[in-house]
Amino acid sequence: MLSLHPVSERDLADLRRFEVDNRAFFEARINARPASYYADGGIESAIATARREADADTGHQFLIRDLAGALVGRINLSQIKRKHYHSCELGYRIAEAENGKGHAKEAVRLVLEKAFGELGLVRVEAKARAGNAGSIKVLQRNGFTEFGRSTRSFQLDDEWEDMLYFECRAPGR
- Residue 35: C-alpha distances to residues 3, 8, 19, 38 (Å): 30, 22, 12, 6
What's the rounded mean pLDDT across residues 49-55? 97
Give the predicted TM-score (pTM) of the model: 0.93
Q: What is the pLDDT of residue 157?
A: 80
Q: Which residues contact 51 (CB under 8 A, 6 or more apart)?
A: 7, 8
Angle at 87 between CA 110 and CA 106, to 5 degrees: 15
pLDDT top residue among 32 and 110: 110
Best CA proximity match to 90, nearest among 67, 70, 102, 73: 73
The number of beta carbons lying within 10 Å of the beta carbon of residue 145 is: 11
pLDDT, tens digit, 9 for 90 and up, residues 114-155: 999 999 999 999 999 998 999 999 999 999 999 999 999 888
Banded model confidence at residue 30, pLDDT cuts 50, 70, 90: confident
3 state SS of 172:
coil
> Residue 85's pLDDT band (boundaries 50, 70, 90)?
very high
